[in-house]
Amino acid sequence: MVVGPGDDAGIFRYGNTLLVETVDVITPIVDDPYTFGAICTANSVSDVYAMGGTPLTALAILGFPSCDFGAPVIKKLLKGCIDKLEEAGACLIGGHSIEDSEFKFGLAVTGVVDKKGVLTVAGASPGDVLILTKPLGTGILTSAAKRGKVQKGVLNKVIASMLQLNKTASKVAVRSGARAATDVTGFGLLGHGLNIAKSSKTDLVIFYDKIPVMDGVKKFASLGMVPKGAERNLEFCNKDITYLKNLAREEILILSDPQTSGGLLIALPPKGLKVFARTAKREQMPYWIIGEAVKGKGKIIIK
């Protein structure tokens, strides 16, 4: 075992090959089965990208109430999954389904990673620049959408973001010499940021005004329309956060909003910035520099 539990994926050495293995299962966040299958797949392979790896194969895990959903729904779901896997360069080689009271779908993904390009949550060093590759807000917006509060155009942008693979972000990070990354998912930016901070034994300084958020997120948050998961996440990590900026609770909750298929949070040595910027531009990949790692013991400081 090269990397064990606690990181985005495990890494196991078999001969000269480093295998990356991960599993992720979620409940529906959009109505359309094809789109849900594709988002779920982008979300599942993301943990391989967060390690700097390349996904190769996947096994589907499906839980469904058979009286509510028929074969056509499952077919569309799997089509969404297979198409997204193909985009990732991976293939579905099997799976398992089980009768369940609530719909669930996910993948166990296996990939490989180059020894020199491994990204872990423990790899950040003081001085590293923190880069985020997708704006925040999928939790707030998809839960507002379930209540019919989100305009079609706004919702389509959220879906496009969740469908976006972290393939390019991972490649750009590895090429520019990053040693640390994680994907921002269920624990929000603060939760996943703290995982990097604690595992790397550094503090992270994050500039609130530099954090990208999706359209409509600030509005819904200010109306108190925030998923329970954001509250739970904040409760869990608040003791490790220092606020040097005056922020309302609703503003802070955006940072703990649980993300589905969120972007990568990358810690990059400053000497890699030029290559990062150049490669990101060539790949037309958006990114935001949101802070830096500093000497410390595993806390986040919001400025």
Minimum CB separation of residue 8 from Co ion in Å reads 4
Nearest alpha-carbon partner for 129 in 251, 275, 233, 282: 275
In the range 189-228, which residues lie near Co ion by CB under 5 A? none
x/- track of binding to Co ion for residues 167-186 (CB under 5 A): ----------------x---
Residue 47 binding Co ion, by CB under 5 A: yes
CB of 120 to Co ion, least distance (A): 12
Taking the complex as a whole, how short is the minimal distance between the CB of residue 132 and Co ion, in angstroms?
14
Q: Which structure tokens are listed for 263?
A: 């972007």
Q: Site mask, Co ion, residues 1-30, x = CB under 5 A?
A: -------x---------------x------
Query: Residue 144 or residue 181: which is nearer to Co ion going by CB?
Result: 181
| Choice between 25 and 213, CB closer to Co ion | 25
Q: Which C-beta is closer to Co ion: that of 60 or that of 74?
A: 60
Closest CA to 257 of 128, 143, 130: 143
Helical spans, DSSP H, in the chain: 33-50, 71-88, 138-146, 152-163, 167-175, 188-200, 217-222, 228-237, 249-253, 273-282
Nearer to Co ion, 183 or 203 (CB): 183
Nearer to Co ion, 45 or 290 (CB): 45
Residue number with CB closer to Co ion (24 or 257): 24
Tokens at 191, concatenated: 């939760």
Residue 47 vs 203, nearer CB to Co ion: 47
Cβ burial of 146 (10 Å; 0-12, 13-18, 19+) is: middle
- Give least dist CB 183 to Co ion, A: 4
- Residue 151 tokens read as 């305009």
Residue 302 CB, nearest approach to Co ion (Å): 22
Distance between first and last Cα of the chain: 38
CB contact at 8 A, 132 and 210: no
Q: What string marks each residue from 77 to 116 as x (binds Co ion by CB under 5 A) or -?
A: ----------------------------------------
C-alpha span between 59 and 239 (Å, rounded): 38
When CB distances to Co ion are compared, the closest residue is 8
Backbone angles phi, psi at 125, to 5 degrees: -130, 155
Shortest Cβ distance from residue 240 to Co ion (Å)? Answer: 19
CB closer to Co ion, 47 vs 128: 47
Main-chain dihedrals φ then ψ at residue 189, nearest 5 degrees? -60, -40
We find the least distance from the C-beta atom of residue 136 to Co ion, in angstroms, to be 15
Given the rule CB under 5 A, which of 44-52, 79-87, 119-127, 228-236 is the region that contacts Co ion?
A: 44-52
239: left (phi over 0), alpha (psi -120 to 50) or beta: alpha
Which DSSP symbol is given to 110?
Answer: E
Binding track over 124-163 against Co ion, x by CB under 5 A = ----------------------------------------
In angstroms, give the least distance from the CB of 173 to Co ion: 14
Q: Do β-strands 202-206 and 300-302 pair in parallel, antiparallel, or remain unpaired? A: parallel
Radius of gyration of the chain (CA): 19
213, burial (CB in 10 Å: exposed 0-12, middle 13-18, buried 19+): middle
Residue 127 φ/ψ, nearest 5 degrees: 100, -25
| C-alpha span between 74 and 81 (Å, rounded) | 10
Task: Kindly determine how many residues on this chain lie close enough to bind Co ion according to the rule CB under 5 A.
Answer: 4
Binding site for Co ion (CB under 5 A): 8, 24, 47, 183
